[in-house]
Amino acid sequence: MRVTDGTNYGVVRDSINRSRERMENLQMENATLKKLNRPSDDPVGSAKVLEVRTDKVNNEQYQVNAKLAQAFLDNTDHALEDISEIVMRAKEIAINQSSSASSTPESRYGVAEEVNQLYQRAVTTANRRIGDRYLFGGYRNTTTPVDAEGNYHGDDGEMMIEIGREVFIGMNIPGHEIFNTHPESSHDQRQMNEQKQTSEQRRLASNDDPRSDLSQNTNLFQSLKSLRTGLLTGDIETVRASLDHFDELLGKVVATRSKIGSRIQGIEGNVSALERHNVTNAQLTSTIEDADMTQVVSDLAKEETVFKSSLASSKHLIQPTLLDFLR
Amino acid sequence: MSIPNVMQTGKSGMTTAKAGIATSGHNIANANTDGFSRQRIQTEAIVTQQMAGQGGLHIGEGSRVSRVERINDNYLEKQLREGGRDMAFHEEKQVFLNQVEDVFNEMNGDGLNRIVARFYNDFRKLSNDPTSEAIRQSVRESSQSMVNDFKRLRTEVEAVRSHIDNRIDGNMQELNTFAKELAELNGKIRQAEVQGNDANDLRDRRDQIVKKINNLVDISAHTDNNGNINAEIRGVGPLVTGVNVEEFSVHHAPAQEDEGNVDGALQIARSSLGNNFITSQFHGGKIGALIETRDKAVAEVLERLDKLAYSVTSAVNDIHQKGFTQNGETGLNFFNPITSVDGAAGNLALSDDIHHSVGNIAVALQPDSPGDNRGALAIANLQNLHLMNDGKTTVDDFYNSIVADIGVSSARNREALGQQQSILTQLTKMRDQVSGVSIDEETTNLMQYQHAFDASAKVIKVADEMMDTILKLRG
């Protein structure tokens, strides 16, 4: 075989270039600690990394969402605790005053004032807020939901919040669901992404609904008011009738509080699921994009040896020609 | 046989040896010349006339150089040329695929993927607290940076495209120059060889030019009966026939419906035929790579980017229009409506209403409900909806697949480039084995001819002494 100077130099150039290129790539991995520095390094992996990254950002937001929802629900629960105390006290009063034995006009006037205080407290509690948002206003949460007369000005809006991919949870309990035993309508959360019916439409539609029989409805504020009126006028029958109302209301509050409890439990479960998910994701991205440093360092050392030996052999390959011996 | 004849014989030997030394010198001088084929002198013995009265003996009269041979393998040259063409193709493609890849590379930094995630999550934040002015501001900010990033991506990819156009322009000019050179060389070689000269070096140069043309575009080259190399661009037609050249010109052409090209892109036409564009018929080589990259890879990326921007805009607007602002207004757009998919990524912008006030972000689906967050939830939920590919892919997946596809074509091309490199190295080595100059070999030849030269001189000297001897006989 003819070996020419061109092939000689070509071989030298080629082997040095190749070795240098490999060293450069390894150096890059070494410097960034990543084996995935451009999409073309691993196209499928890089798409996966992007996907997981989005997942991570979303999870962080879901976790923040969950915390906010939990704070809101916790506050709602505290308010409901106060409401239940109010109702219990009112019930106590009603029991005491419903038998003519213990009820005298003087005692009734006395407790009527207390009932008035309870009423005021109930209104204040119903108007409790977190930040500048009222807990019980539904969607109308920037104005006081209950006025001094005990009328509800909020709506039945339930603020859904995303605490996991397409996992939604209501962060509030609309006031009328608590203050009334049989609210005129109930919120349907499945209508999330659709144009929700307006309250008007729902009111019309619910006329056929047996549940919406308003005669069954018991309102906290009305009950307190009528208890007070009963006490002031000495109408024992009204006082006695309010007992049932308070029982119903108490049942309602307890049911709502257990609803809140299960929601909070759901949130906590979800948060720990998110955390587990984050760990799995971190492991996954690490497998895809992180360089195996032991491998890189040992490859680099190996490559260095290759490079040095190719330089050394080049010395022998290039240097001597016949001319060197003819001098 | 006369003594002067012996001197002639010696002289012929010296001349031959001198030609050998000159040729070796030429080879050594061109040891590093690209495309040079080593040359050899071919010598032959001078045939003598039969001499009368010498018993019919033939006594040789020396040697002469019959021709200077160019040691070259045509088939290998062709393979090498085609290897070079494919190499140039992949090399040129790699340059621009790398550039596009760089535009979309967010492996170690920020990019549209993160920005879009931030956009959705700001809407999630807004759904937590729809009345917060601060969150509304941040929704507007992240939407603006999404708009900016769409624009950045489109502008940068467009920059790659116009860079490609510049290269096409430059390469077409080279093609015309080389074609002219080839035609000229055809003429010169023919002229030289008609006069009986070896046009070895001209042939080397011509091979080199054909190689350069082939690096630019896929051609078929063949030698005709007159020794001309005729080059034909595959799929287009003749480039050089004998001494005639077909010239090509480039034009910034308006968009053509059927070709699917963009306004102002560079198109190629035969100079003689004006605006009859034949761009898509060019394949292979640098020009083929440029056209393919521009009209396939780059065009596709832009198209997908536009589709993405368009879908996001219309999906967000659809929801936003149904919502009510803090002032109870409804039917407002979040983004400026975009009428056509074409160029959507560049035309993306927040609507004037949103620019004007963040209070115009419509989060509620019913009036007078500051706590109603369903609009924000619905927009955030777009992240999970299959808006792209006729309802098969989410926006995120669609974008990620753009990045992955660029990665795939870049990786595939890089691999092909590596293979082509090995093939070319191998072919170059093979060519060097045949046509390359070996200094050792030439040095040996030099010595060989030098000895022959010395010995031939000795022959003349001997003849001279013989002559002397004869002349002295008389004295």
Of B374, B400, B443, the CB nearest to A47: B400
pLDDT of residue A207: 46
Contact state of B128 with A65 under an 8 Å Cβ cutoff: yes
Contact state of B438 with A68 under an 8 Å Cβ cutoff: no
pLDDT of residue A187: 40
Residues of chain B in contact with residue A165, where contact means CB-CB under 8 angstroms, are 384
Contact state of B114 with A53 under an 8 Å Cβ cutoff: yes
C-alpha–C-alpha distance, residues B463 and B1, integer Å: 12
pLDDT of residue B239: 93
Contact state of B128 with A68 under an 8 Å Cβ cutoff: yes
* B74-104 helix and B285-292 helix, angle to the nearest 10 degrees: 30
* B395-435 helix and B299-322 helix, angle to the nearest 10 degrees: 170
Q: Is A197 a residue whose pLDDT tops 50?
A: no
Contact state of A43 with B114 under an 8 Å Cβ cutoff: no
Of B118, B128, B439, the CB nearest to A5: B439
β-pair partners for A2 = none
Compute the 3-state secondary structure of chain B and give helix, strand, coil in percent, each to the nearest 5. Answer: 65, 10, 25
How distant is the Cα of A153 from the closest Cα of chain B, in angstroms?
11
Q: Report the residue of B138, B365, B422, B428 to disrupt the A interface, i.e. the one with the largest count of A CBs within 10 Å.
A: B365
> How far are the Cα atoms of A136, A217, A262, B122 from residue A257, in angstroms, in the given order?
14, 19, 9, 31
Q: Is A320 a residue whose pLDDT tops 80?
A: no
- On average, the pLDDT of chain A sits at 84
β-pair partners for B237 = B233
pLDDT tens digits for A80-107? Answer: 999 999 999 999 998 888 876 777 888 8
pLDDT of residue A209: 44
If you average pLDDT over residues A22-47, what whole number do you get? Answer: 89
Beta strands (DSSP E) in B262-396 are 265-270
How distant is the Cα of A86 from the closest Cα of chain B, in angstroms?
27
C-alpha–C-alpha distance, residues B123 and B118, integer Å: 9
3-class DSSP assignment, residue A129: strand
pLDDT tens digits for A259-311? Answer: 999 999 999 999 999 999 999 999 998 999 898 889 999 999 999 999 999 88
Phi, psi of B263 (to 5 degrees): -65, 135
Tokens describing residue B112 = 């549209």
User: Rg of chain B's alpha carbons, rounded to an integer?
Assistant: 38
Asked whether A230 and A155 are in contact (CB, 8 A), the reply is no
3-class DSSP assignment, residue A168: strand
C-alpha–C-alpha distance, residues A134 and A233, integer Å: 35
Of B124, B414, B443, the CB nearest to A40: B414
Tokens describing residue A273 = 């699921």
C-alpha–C-alpha distance, residues B205 and B223, integer Å: 15
C-alpha–C-alpha distance, residues B302 and B473, integer Å: 102
The distance in angstroms from the start CA to the end CA of chain B is 24
* B391 dihedral zone (left: phi>0; alpha: psi -120 to 50; beta): left
Contact state of A61 with B401 under an 8 Å Cβ cutoff: no
pLDDT of residue A191: 37
Residue of B nearest to A288 (CA): B107
Contact state of A142 with B129 under an 8 Å Cβ cutoff: no
Going by DSSP bridges, is the β-strand pair A167-170/A160-164 parallel, antiparallel, or unpaired?
A: antiparallel
Residues of chain B in contact with residue A29, where contact means CB-CB under 8 angstroms, are none
Helix and strand numbers (H, E) in chain A are 9, 4
Q: Transcribe B179-244 into DSSP letters.
A: HHHHHHHHHHHHHHHHTT---HHHHHHHHHHHHHHHHHS-EEEEE-TTSPEEEEETTTEEEEETTE
Chain-centroid distance, C-alpha B139: 45
Asked whether A23 and A300 are in contact (CB, 8 A), the reply is yes
Phi, psi of B411 (to 5 degrees): -65, -40
Asked whether B352 and B334 are in contact (CB, 8 A), the reply is no
In one-letter notation, the amino acid at residue B280 is: S
3-class DSSP assignment, residue A220: helix
Name the H helices within A99-198: 105-126, 175-179
pLDDT tens digits for B404-446? Answer: 999 999 999 999 999 999 999 899 989 999 999 998 899 999 9
Residues of chain B in contact with residue A196, where contact means CB-CB under 8 angstroms, are 365-366, 374
Of B101, B433, B444, the CB nearest to A1: B433
pLDDT of residue B434: 92
Contact state of B406 with A39 under an 8 Å Cβ cutoff: yes
Give the count of beta carbons closer than 10 Å to the beta carbon of residue B217. 28
Residues of chain B in contact with residue A53, where contact means CB-CB under 8 angstroms, are 113-114, 117
3-class DSSP assignment, residue B107: coil
3-class DSSP assignment, residue B63: strand
C-alpha–C-alpha distance, residues B465 and A24, integer Å: 72
Please, which residues have CB within 8 angstroms of residue B55's CB and are 6 or more apart in sequence? none
Nearest to A39 by CA among B286, B106, B59: B106
pLDDT of residue B411: 94
The distance in angstroms from the start CA to the end CA of chain A is 27
Tokens describing residue B158 = 């467009």
Residue of A nearest to B116 (CA): A54
3-class DSSP assignment, residue B138: helix
Phi, psi of B37 (to 5 degrees): -105, 135
Of B125, B374, B414, the CB nearest to A61: B125
Q: Report the residue of B121, B393, B397, B413 to disrupt the A interface, i.e. the one with the largest count of A CBs within 10 Å.
A: B121
Residues of chain B in contact with residue A54, where contact means CB-CB under 8 angstroms, are 113-114, 116-117, 396
pLDDT of residue A186: 40
How distant is the Cα of A308 from the closest Cα of chain B, in angstroms?
22
Of B97, B107, B371, the CB nearest to A37: B107
How distant is the Cα of B113 from the closest Cα of chain A, in angstroms?
7
The residue among B97 and A198 whose pLDDT is bigger is B97
Residues of chain B in contact with residue A57, where contact means CB-CB under 8 angstroms, are 114, 117-118, 121
C-alpha–C-alpha distance, residues B126 and B136, integer Å: 7
β-pair partners for B350 = B335
Q: Report the residue of B127, B383, B431, B445 to disrupt the A interface, i.e. the one with the largest count of A CBs within 10 Å.
A: B127
Q: Report the residue of B30, B101, B114, B124 to disrupt the A interface, i.e. the one with the largest count of A CBs within 10 Å.
A: B124
How distant is the Cα of B383 from the closest Cα of chain A, in angstroms?
10
Q: Is A128 a residue whose pLDDT tops 70?
A: yes
Of A50, A140, A165, the CB nearest to B403: A50
pLDDT tens digits for B194-252? Answer: 888 888 899 999 999 999 999 999 999 999 988 899 999 999 999 999 999 999 999 88
Residues of chain A in contact with residue B434, where contact means CB-CB under 8 angstroms, are 2
How distant is the Cα of B243 from the closest Cα of chain A, in angstroms?
33
Contact state of A162 with B377 under an 8 Å Cβ cutoff: yes
C-alpha–C-alpha distance, residues A33 and B218, integer Å: 43
Tokens describing residue B65 = 């150089």
The tally of CA atoms less than 13 A away on the side-chain side of residue A30 is 14
* Total-model pTM: 0.81
Of B371, B383, B439, the CB nearest to A140: B371
C-alpha–C-alpha distance, residues B95 and B90, integer Å: 9
Of B371, B381, B436, the CB nearest to A141: B371
How distant is the Cα of B316 from the closest Cα of chain A, in angstroms?
13
Residues of chain A in contact with residue B438, where contact means CB-CB under 8 angstroms, are 2-5
Asked whether A127 and A146 are in contact (CB, 8 A), the reply is yes
pLDDT of residue A315: 82
3-class DSSP assignment, residue A277: helix
C-alpha–C-alpha distance, residues B275 and A108, integer Å: 105
Of A10, A50, A193, the CB nearest to B428: A10
Q: Is A215 a residue whose pLDDT tops 60?
A: no
The segments of chain B whose pLDDT lies below 70 read: 1, 49-57, 255-263, 475
Tell me which H or E stretch contains A325: helix A322-326
